[in-house]
Amino acid sequence: MTVGWSSAFRRSSLGAAVFDVATEYRYTVLSWASMQDVPTVRQHALHVPAVEAWAVLDGGVTSMEGYGATTLPCGVRVVGFQVLRLLIADLDLAGPAPFDGEIVLDPEELRSAHRAIGRSAEAVEQAELLASCHDAVLLRWVAATLTNGQAAAARSAR
C-alpha cells in the first residue's frame, strides 16, 4: 500500500506553498534536509524561538523550536511547491494533483535543478530569509516572495 503525501504534509494557512509537516514525519524530513548539500542557517535571538532553515529549490525546509514571542507554533514546515514535490518523490509518497499556480516538474528535473543550485550565493540568501521566519507575518512574506520569484523565472524561461 502506498502512503499518500497528506499523511506527511498538510497545507498551511500561511501561504499557497507552505506545508506543515506531520509530527510523525518531522525527524524524517529534518534528516532528509540535513543530508542535502545546501546552505543551512540557524538563527536564535533573545525572546524568539530558534529557527533553522535549509534552502532547497523554490523554498526550503524550516524548523522552529523553543519559546518566545511568536505567532507561529513550533514545528517543521516545507516552503515551496518544488521542494515539496522533491520530498514526496524522495520519501516515496503518492503525490497530489497539481496545486493552483504550481509548475510541475518530474522528479528527475527537480533533482537536476536541485544539484545545479547547490550552495550558490542566491541559495545562501534564501536560507537566511527562511531562517528569519520566526513569526507568521515574516513566513507569509518570505513564502510569497520565493514563490512569486520562481513563477516569474519559469515564465521568462518559456
Q: For 32-88, what is each residue's pLDDT tens digit?
A: 999 998 998 988 777 778 889 999 999 999 999 877 667 788 899 999 999 999 999
Q: Can you give the residue range of the structural domain that contains 119?
A: 5-157
Q: What is the pLDDT of residue 134?
A: 83
Q: What is the pLDDT of residue 119?
A: 80
- DSSP annotation of 94 reads B
- Tell me the pLDDT tens digit for each residue of 145-157: 887 765 444 433 3
Q: What is the pLDDT of residue 130?
A: 92
Q: What is the pLDDT of residue 154?
A: 43
Q: What is the pLDDT of residue 157?
A: 39
Alpha-carbon distance of 125 to 75, in angstroms, equals: 22
- Tell me the pLDDT tens digit for each residue of 126-150: 999 999 888 888 899 899 888 776 5
Burial of 15 (0-12, 13-18, 19+ CB in 10 A): buried
Domain count, the chain: 1
Sign of CA dihedral 129, 16, 4, 25: positive
Alpha-carbon distance of 50 to 47, in angstroms, equals: 9
**Global pTM?**
0.87
